[in-house]
Amino acid sequence: MEKSISNRFYFDYNATSPLAKKVTDFLHSGDFLFGNPASQHQSGKKSKKLINESIEYLHDLFSLSSNHFKLFFHSGASEGINTIFKGIALKNFKAKKSVSFFFSEVDHACVVQLKDDLETLGHKVFFFSVDKNGIFDREKLISSIVKESSEGRETFINYTYVNNETGVVWPLSWALDIKKRTNAFIHVDAVQVVGKIPNWNELDLTLDAYTFSGHKFGAIKGIGFTFLKKEVTFPALIVGGTQQDGLRAGTENAMGVYSLKLSLMEMKERFNSQNLYEAKIEIENSLVEFIGTRGEIVARENTNRNLNTIFLILYGQKAESLSIKFDLAGIELSTGSACSSGVIKENRILMAMGYSGVDSKSALRFSFSPFLKKEEVFDYLEKIKSVLK
């Protein structure tokens, strides 16, 4: 059920998710992993054992063999993505080489905001655009990458598999085509993948890196992980020790790592993509009929969208005012705009997709549980419509 223990409806799973039941059961057991995994006593060995078991599970679950990929843990995708791109930039800066980075205008802020630091180190940063359905021009991107390569620069791409706001999916087959035709390094932002698309655990050995955040699928906050091709090397973002083969210093978060395994086990057992698709489509179709010409669903014409997200624009409405009304009605969702000190800002993602500043301030994002079922839809629609009326 989407209801939380406080009897509220929680529709903000793209922001963060409640803890998985397997995780809460583990925490209730009180069997906490307090030992430092680097220690040689029994408590330390127990922590290290569960970390190693979790690493093996992750490699198996995502079919990314440890023969081809190493894996390191971090605090979440923002740190993981900074580690990769800043590490690559620093390595090439030290070698007195200039390289080229390709980011999308609709990438997460932790990617977009790397621009200044990468350019300070002497590298080039290019942003590729998307249309109103969130689709980019693959041929144009490939042409730009080939041009940089022809000038002797290595090329590095961030590829957002599933967009956190719109739910637009860029199939991995597109990334594989880019890889085949350019041989660029491709990092896949896979943060919004787990439990939100069919076959979410089917990745590909050809691409170079994949980054995840545990709190998006029921693990403890402050833990994430990145798969990285074994031959790829760069300086660590966080230094101070030799943990994790030097990729990330600091005492390993055994509790967090184990929660990744538990939450992913639960997702694998419970997730039914067809159930989620049918429930979400029923809600979406009903909302489209209800709002008529007073609004629209972002990227609805795009056949590549995830299973849990509805990004709704209501023309002429203020998303912040509506979100307050939803909150008072016991519904928790996200606005499409960012607030800072009470100042309403345009939504960067919607602006990049060609929407006006006014419309970008009128968006509400519903992101549902991966375990949403059709029998829950009626109650949810009644509650949502009662606010929209």
- Tens of pLDDT, residues 112-141: 999 999 999 999 999 999 999 999 999 999
Selected from 3.10.129.10, 3.40.50.720, 3.90.1150.10, 3.40.190.10, the CATH number assigned to the domain covering 9-18+272-388 reads 3.90.1150.10
Q: Is 173 exposed, middle or buried (0-12, 13-18, 19+ CB in 10 A)?
A: exposed
CA pair distance 219, 27, nearest whole angstrom: 11
Q: Closest Cα to residue 228, out of 253, 247, 241?
A: 247
Which residue's structure tokens are 């209730």? 28
Which residue's structure tokens are 């009304």? 325
CA pair distance 163, 193, nearest whole angstrom: 9
CA pair distance 212, 311, nearest whole angstrom: 22
Q: Closest Cα to residue 58, out of 238, 237, 194?
A: 194
Q: Where in the chain is the domain with CATH 3.90.1150.10?
A: 9-18+272-388
Per-residue confidence (pLDDT) for residue 343, from 0 to 100: 58
Segment 17-40, tens digit of pLDDT: 999 999 999 999 998 889 999 899
Instruction: Give me the DSSP letters along 10-71.
Output: E-BTTT--PPPHHHHHHHHHT----S-TT--SHHHHHHHHHHHHHHHHHHHHTT--TTTEEE
5 Cβ contact partners less than 8 Å away, ≥ 6 residues apart: none
Per-residue confidence (pLDDT) for residue 345, from 0 to 100: 82
**Other beta carbons less than 10 A from residue 251's beta carbon:** 12
170 Cβ contact partners less than 8 Å away, ≥ 6 residues apart: 136, 159, 160, 161, 162, 304
Per-residue confidence (pLDDT) for residue 205, from 0 to 100: 97
Per-residue tokens: 8: 């509220």
Per-residue confidence (pLDDT) for residue 7, from 0 to 100: 78
Per-residue tokens: 54: 């979790």
| Residue range 21-269, CATH number | 3.40.640.10
Instruction: Enumerate helices (H) and strands (E) in the chain, giving the number of each.
Output: 13, 15
CA pair distance 214, 298, nearest whole angstrom: 27
Decide if 118 contacts 85 (C-beta within 8 A): yes
Q: Where in the chain is the domain with CATH 3.40.640.10?
A: 21-269
Please provide the average confidence, as pLDDT, over all residues in the chain: 95
Residue type, 341: S
CA pair distance 87, 90, nearest whole angstrom: 5
Per-residue confidence (pLDDT) for residue 340, from 0 to 100: 47
Per-residue pLDDT of the chain in tens (389 residues, 90 and over written 9): 555 556 799 999 999 999 999 999 999 999 888 999 989 999 999 999 999 999 999 999 999 999 999 999 999 999 999 999 999 999 999 999 999 999 999 999 999 999 999 999 999 999 999 999 999 999 999 999 999 999 999 999 999 999 999 999 999 999 999 999 999 999 999 999 999 999 999 999 999 999 999 999 999 999 999 999 999 999 999 999 999 999 999 999 999 999 999 999 999 999 999 999 999 999 999 999 999 999 999 999 999 999 999 999 999 999 999 999 999 999 999 986 554 445 568 999 999 999 999 999 999 999 999 999 999 999 999 999 999 98
CA pair distance 327, 28, nearest whole angstrom: 30
Decide if 92 contacts 123 (C-beta within 8 A): yes
Q: Closest Cα to residue 124, out of 154, 146, 96, 162?
A: 154
CA pair distance 145, 175, nearest whole angstrom: 13
Q: Is the pTM of this model over 0.85?
A: yes
